[in-house]
Structure 1
Amino acid sequence: MGKEKNKALFALVGRNISYSFSKGYFTNKFKELNFNTHEYINLDIQDIKELPQKIKENKKSLKGLNVTIPYKLEVFNYLDKIDKKALKVGAVNTIKITKKGRLKGFNTDVYGFKRSLKPLLKSNHKKALILGTGGASKAVAFVLDKLEIKYKFVSRNPEGKKQISYKELTQKSIASHHLIINCTPLGTHPNIDSCPDIPYEFLTENHLLYDLIYNPSETTFLRKGKEKGASIKNGLEMLEQQAEKAWEIWNE
């Protein structure tokens, strides 16, 4: 791998990512396009410090990277350049490797989330709760700012004015925030019975629950919302949209 002159290699960087969406998506894409010299692999690393060596091992053919949990923030220290939007977001999930071997970071989660969320929004979706404070939540917050939707982060360990704890969620706070977005990994296969600890009993048909998780397609978080009449959306379309945006960046 990496010795073929015209080989084009792409990879996902993350930890414990055997379940990942990206490898299957791009492998199928390359087959459909008949790109026989293109390959997509997982770079499953336990520490971000391993990244430079992994890149070095594949430097002859590596063209681009996707970045997932838990490295969307940590990867900043290993980039030569960062796109303005990614800097504003504070997270990188796509890296382009230039012909000179330089690494430039982008955020395509913003594009994917906005494209998949916007058609679902109604006039009452004025306030949102963002569950979780990791890299993906930063892209979500960036989009909500652009859409002029006020939001609060919900965290196990809240910091600052814009963050509250799960224990602080009351009937009143649920009633006044009709958009709830899960940016935590709770409920991901195989731990499908897990879900964020929010008071689901106060959800109504006015609520929209959006889960960045796509496997399973209906998480416990979404199911509990649907049982209360809420509209629901999983993260598959967001992932597809952000993947296509990454592909566009790699080929610019």
Structure 2
Amino acid sequence: MLASNNPKQFGLIGYPLGHSFSADFFSQLFEREHIAAYYTPYELSSIDLLGPLLQKQTNLYGLNVTSPYKEAVVEYATELSAEVVATGAANVLHIRRDARGQVKHIAAHNTDIIGFRDSLLPYLPDLSGAKALILGTGGAAKAASYALEQLGIDACLVSRSPREGTIGYDSIEAYLPEARLIVQATPVGLRCGEVVLFPYEKLTDRHLCYDLIYNPSETGFLAEAKRQGAQTKNGLEMLHKQALAAWEIWQTP
């Protein structure tokens, strides 16, 4: 437990942040566990604003990182976890400071991998032998791909600009018979009325459609998948699991 006479600060960076539940989650955690700390969202219009933020907020010891900075933030770290090295993306910064409050060390971690992987475990029996499609190629998509590799599930990333190692959206249909797990890892759906381009009519009750977005709780992608009888899951459980993993990291010396 943190000393009450010197509450540490934690926070979230990204842009925009109006959809995020992170501040509520950590505020409730701190209150429930009687932890003297506080959590602040920082909506940064550019990753270049991170340096000045770290200098100004001398009691800031940990940051969650969300879209669109999960890849760009890696350049600010002085230490990278094995998962960050493998994916090129981070969603957690652990900041260490000297006695004057100046930054002396920043470790980058990726707890999205833990959150996604562990939230998927109950579904594994139904996914035996299945492959996966991941919509998107950003930091969240890379974390999902890494987690699926750990679980022994072959995954293919889907991109609007396909290149080596990815496919285009116009090729999805050919993969669907075997790809029974569809992971939606783009920001499409955060705004009301947005729907991911996808051949929904090819989905069946054997498919699991997992949208990493949690607010709204049912995106257009999930609503369309549900109409076809597919199982659906949003990203709220993943959020909670990755946040708890981040808190464990921040408590280490």
Q: Give the alignment's TM-score, normalised by structure 1.
A: 0.92
Does residue 98 of structure 1 match 2:100? no
Matched, 1:49 2:53: no
Task: Answer whether contact 2:8 2:61 (CA < 8 A) is retained.
Answer: yes
Distance 2:192 2:146 in 1: 28
The question of 1:212 aligning with 2:216 is answered no
Q: Displacement, 1:5?
A: 6.0
RMSD value, Cα: 1.4
- Which 10-residue stretch deviates more, 15-24 or 178-187? 15-24
Tell me how far apart the structure 1 counterparts of residues 57 and 134 of structure 2 sit (CA, whole Å). Answer: 37
Structure 1 partner of 2:144: 140
- For residue 170 of structure 2, what is the aligned residue in structure 1? 167
What letter matches 1:67 in structure 2? V
Cα distance in 1 for partners of 2:166, 2:77 equals: 29
For the residue of structure 2 that corresponds to 1:180, the secondary structure is strand
1:110 matched to which residue of 2? 113
Q: Does 1:74 align with 2:55?
A: no
Asked if 2 retains the 8 angstrom alpha-carbon contact of 1:68 and 1:93, the reply is: yes
Provide, for residues 54-108 of structure 1, a one-character-per-residue CA deviation record: whole Å limited to 9, x for no partner: 011112x111010010111101111111112221122110011124431110000
Aligned partners of 2:44 and 2:38: how far apart in 1? 19
Say yes or no: does 1:152 pair with 2:133. Answer: no
Distance 1:205 1:125 in 2: 16
- 2:175 paired with 1:177: no
Cα distance in 2, alignment partners of residues 186 and 138 from structure 1 = 17
**Alignment partner of 1:29 is 2:22:** no
TM-score under structure 2 length normalisation = 0.92
Offset, 1:9: 0.2
Shift of the 231–199 alpha-carbon distance from structure 1 to 2, 3 Å rule, reads: same
Which amino acid in 2 is paired with 1:54? Answer: L
Give the secondary structure class of the aligned counterpart of 2:22.
helix
Given that 2:65 and 2:90 are in contact with CA atoms closer than 8 Å, whether structure 1 keeps it comes out as: yes
Letter of the 1:235 counterpart: G
Alpha-carbon deviation of 1:34?
Answer: 2.4
1:120 maps to 123
How many corresponding residue pairs? Answer: 243
Per-residue CA deviation, residues 144-182 of structure 1 (Å, 9 max, x unaligned), is 11111111111111111x211112222x32222111000
Show CA shifts across 1:15-47 (max 9, x none).
Answer: 111321211111111121223x31100111111
Counterpart code for 1:214: Y
CA distance in 1, matches of 2:5, 2:53: 19
The 1:48–1:233 alpha-carbon spacing in structure 2 relative to 1, beyond 3 Å, is same
Task: Report the Cα offset of residue 227 of structure 1.
Answer: 1.5
SS at 1:175's partner residue? Answer: coil
Distance between the aligned counterparts of 1:53 and 1:18, measured in 2? 22
Q: CA deviation at 1:125?
A: 5.1
SS at structure 2 position matched to 1:178: strand
Tell me what 2:237 maps to. 237
In the alignment, structure 2 segments of 5+ residues that lack a partner are none
The residue aligned with 1:11 is: 11
Aligned partner of 2:61 in structure 1 is 63
Give distance in 1, aligned partners of 2:107 and 2:73: 11
Which sits farther off after the overlay, 129-138 or 143-152? Answer: 143-152
Post-superposition CA distance 1:100-156 (Å, at most 9, x none):
431110000000001101111224452111000010001000011111111111111
In the alignment, residue 130 of structure 1 is paired with which amino acid? I
Is the CA contact (8 Å cut-off) linking 1:15 and 1:69 kept in structure 2?
yes
Where structure 1 has 5 or more consecutive residues not aligned to the other structure, the ranges are: none
- Using the alignment, how far apart are the partners of 1:193 and 1:166 within structure 2? 20
Percentage identity across aligned positions?
Answer: 40
Report if aligned partners of 2:62, 2:95 keep a CA contact under 8 Å in 1: yes
